[in-house]
């Protein structure tokens, strides 16, 4: 079932935005539709449409959208009482001011312990097929339980979460409004509300989107060249595909790591999944870094250097990973293109917690 999110949530983004140059009429004329070197010479206009953003946000029939459920989920997302110490909320790691992540190389968990992986953004997850870096969560509802109950993250049990929420009088009317009078305050309703709120977190319209819709002035010629590199010579779109710029699959890109990633959940014989991690979206990319599942790539230059080398050679290395030489001008064009995937920031009103 597809449903458009009403109000400002349909275009939500908080984070850092970089300015994008708007070409003059003379320059715009230089970027008229041409045959792209990407995907075997597919015409540029046809190629652009494969990155067209959808008109509506999907919600599952088992957990349909309601404004009341999203409001409850928002309160829960920002409430530190869902953690054992009462000091850490979902928003502590998924901070809207930091692109719904935390800006750190690796997440910091319970007792200020550094964790093994970087905190991913929660933008645009309504379209996801599997969640967590290793894909072990099949739905946002399942995923919502994991950080709350993980001993090294929020270190709670869902029973204790329910007990705390029942003791807070202001939550009773929120649960009644979201699920009906007398609704159970428990794991199922808590995770349904959290998942509903997260599905409303959708990137706003970026300059790239306006270009896809036919506004040739929306991005500059250097960004157009970057798009052609992205979908052609640089082969980025082999994994960063579709409007969210992710294939929702798992790849070993050759980072130096002992973490098996997806490989922990499949037989060892499935060699390609060893050290494989979910392809991150490039929408609203924090251009300051860090990057990689372990935050091991500090900057975009480090990312490009890594892909130029082709990654650490091992049997599981993704077949898409091949050494690639890009000139300084080509690197600059790719970065110019990535900037066009950033939407203007939209304000979010923090909830008044019960």
62-96 pLDDT tens trace: 999 999 999 999 999 999 999 999 999 999 999 99
**pLDDT of 335:** 95
**Domain residue ranges of the chain, discontinuous segments joined by +:** 23-56+205-339, 66-199
| Residue predicted with more confidence, 345 or 220 | 220
pLDDT classification of 287: cutoffs 50, 70, 90: confident
Q: Do domains 23-56+205-339 and 66-199 have the same CATH topology?
A: yes
CB atoms within 10 A of CB 103: 17
If you average pLDDT over residues 204-232, what whole number do you get? 97
Give the integer Cα–Cα distance in Å for 318 and 262. 13
Q: What is d(CA 304, CA 14) in angstroms, rounded to the nearest whole number?
A: 26
CA distance 238 to 256: 22
In angstroms, the CA 327 to CA 305 distance is 11
| Cβ–Cβ under 8 Å, residues 83 and 243 | no
The Cα 11–Cα 64 span in angstroms is: 19
pLDDT at 324: 87
Second-level CATH architecture of 66-199: Orthogonal Bundle (1.10)
CA nearest to 14, candidates 102, 91, 96: 96
State residue 36's pLDDT score.
Answer: 44
For domain 23-56+205-339, say whether CATH 3.40.50.300 is its number: no
In this prediction, residue 344 carries a pLDDT of 85
Query: What integer pLDDT is reported at residue 40 of this predicted model?
Result: 55
Task: Indicate the pLDDT class of residue 22, thresholds 50, 70 and 90.
Answer: very low
pLDDT in tens, 241-279: 999 999 999 999 999 999 999 999 999 999 999 999 999
Residue 313: other Cβ atoms inside 10 A: 9
Mean pLDDT, rounded, for 318-340: 94
Residue 179: pLDDT above 80? yes
DSSP type of residue 42: -
Residue 166 has pLDDT above 80, yes or no: yes
Classify burial at 28, counting beta carbons within 10 Å of its beta carbon; exposed 0-12, middle 13-18, buried 19 or more: middle
- Which tens digit of pLDDT belongs to each residue from 35-52? 444 455 688 989 999 999
Strands annotated E in the chain: 2-3, 57-58, 250-251, 277-278
C-alpha 322/C-alpha 16 separation (Å) is: 31
Rounded CA separation 228/48 (Å): 10
pLDDT bin (cut points 50, 70, 90) of residue 288 is confident
**pLDDT above 80 (res 14):** no
């Amino acid at each position: 079932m597809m449903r458009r999110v009403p109000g400002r949530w349909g275009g939500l983004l908080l984070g850092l935005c970089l300015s994008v140059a708007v070409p003059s009429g003379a320059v715009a004329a230089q970027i008229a539709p041409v045959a792209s070197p990407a995907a075997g010479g597919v015409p540029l206009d046809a190629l652009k449409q494969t990155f067209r953003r959808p008109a509506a946000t999907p919600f599952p029939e088992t957990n349909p959208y309601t404004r009341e459920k999203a409001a409850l989920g928002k309160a829960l997302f920002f409430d530190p009482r869902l953690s054992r110490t009462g000091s850490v909320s979902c928003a502590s790691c998924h901070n809207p001011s930091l692109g719904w992540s935390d800006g750190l190389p690796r997440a910091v968990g319970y007792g200020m312990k550094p964790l093994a992986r970087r905190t991913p953004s929660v933008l645009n997850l309504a379209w996801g097929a599997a969640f967590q870096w290793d894909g072990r969560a099949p739905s946002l509802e399942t995923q919502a339980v994991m950080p709350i109950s993980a001993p090294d993250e929020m270190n709670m049990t869902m029973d204790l979460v329910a007990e705390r929420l029942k003791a807070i009088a202001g939550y009773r009317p929120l649960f009644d409004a979201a699920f009906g009078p007398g609704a159970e305050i428990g794991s199922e309703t808590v995770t349904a509300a959290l998942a509903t709120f997260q599905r409303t977190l959708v990137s706003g319209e970026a300059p790239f989107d306006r270009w896809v819709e036919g506004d040739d002035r929306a991005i500059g010629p250097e960004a157009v060249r970057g798009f052609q590199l992205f979908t052609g010579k640089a082969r980025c779109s082999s994994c960063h595909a579709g409007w969210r710029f992710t294939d929702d699959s798992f790849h070993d890109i050759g980072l130096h790591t002992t973490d098996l990633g997806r490989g922990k959940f499949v037989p060892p014989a499935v060699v390609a999944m060893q050290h494989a991690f979910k392809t991150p979206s490039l929408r609203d990319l924090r251009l300051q870094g860090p990057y990689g599942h372990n935050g091991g790539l500090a900057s975009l230059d480090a990312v490009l250097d890594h892909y130029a080398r082709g990654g650490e050679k091992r049997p599981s290395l993704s077949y898409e990973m091949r050494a690639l030489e890009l000139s300084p001008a080509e690197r600059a064009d790719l970065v110019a293109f990535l900037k066009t995937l950033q939407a203007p920031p939209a304000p979010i009103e923090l909830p008044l917690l019960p």
